[in-house]
Amino acid sequence: KSTGKYIVVGAGGVATVVLTPALLAALGFTATGIASGSIAAKMMSLFALFYGGGIPAGGLVATLQSIGMTGLGWFGTGTVAGIGSIVGSMISSICNVTVKIEGSP
């Protein structure tokens, strides 16, 4: 019975590691920089306005661009896999709930 839960937890971890770089590229955080006209470009523009013309090092846009250019790295991969596994575990727990309505057979 618990084997299914382990599969879902593992799949959640693997899926997030595989999908995170693809999602970042789709948003415009590419290996060659931020893609013109993308969501990433709009984010960069808004953050630059908010911060008075520049993008702070270590901020959200800079971090996402760094991941888009270089990949997740060992720490990022572990973090993202852990988050995906937690979400997989939560989904498995939610899907495993049996609800009995009073008066039903």
- Residue-range domain boundaries for the chain: 55-102
pLDDT digits (tens, 9 = 90+) for 13-47: 888 888 888 888 888 898 888 899 999 999 899 98
Neighbours of 20 (CB within 10 A): 21
pTM above 0.85, yes or no: no
**Rounded-to-integer distance, Cα 98 and Cα 66, Å:** 44
Q: What stretch of H or E contains 64?
A: helix 60-70
The pair of structure tokens assigned to 61 is 């846009």
